[in-house]
Amino acid sequence: MPVDPAFRPLLELPGMALQPPPAELGAAGLRAALAATPMPPVEKEPVHAVRDLAVPGPGGTINVRLYHPSAAQDLPLVVFFHGGGFVICDLETHDPLCRSLARASGCAVASVEYRLAPETRFPGPLEDCYAATRWLADHARDIGVDAARLAVCGDSAGGNLAAAVALLARDRGGPNLRHQALIYPVTDLGCDSASSRELAVGYMLTRDMMRWFAECYLGDPSRAADPLASPLKATDLAGLPSATVITAEFDPLRDEGEAYAARLRAAGVPVVARRYLGMLHGFLSMPYVTPVAYHAIADVGRDLRAI
| Residues with catalytic roles | 156, 251, 281
* CA atoms in the 13 A half-sphere facing the CB of 32: 5
Q: What is the dihedral of CA 166, 156, 109, 70, to 10 degrees?
A: -130
CA distance 165 to 206: 26
CA distance 256 to 165: 18
Produce one character per residue of 145-184: b if its CB has 16 or more CB atoms within 10 Å, e if not. bbbebbbbbbbbbbbbbbbbbbbbbbeeeebebbbbbbbb
CA distance 229 to 164: 7
What is the 3 state secondary structure string of 147-166? EEEEEEEEECHHHHHHHHHH
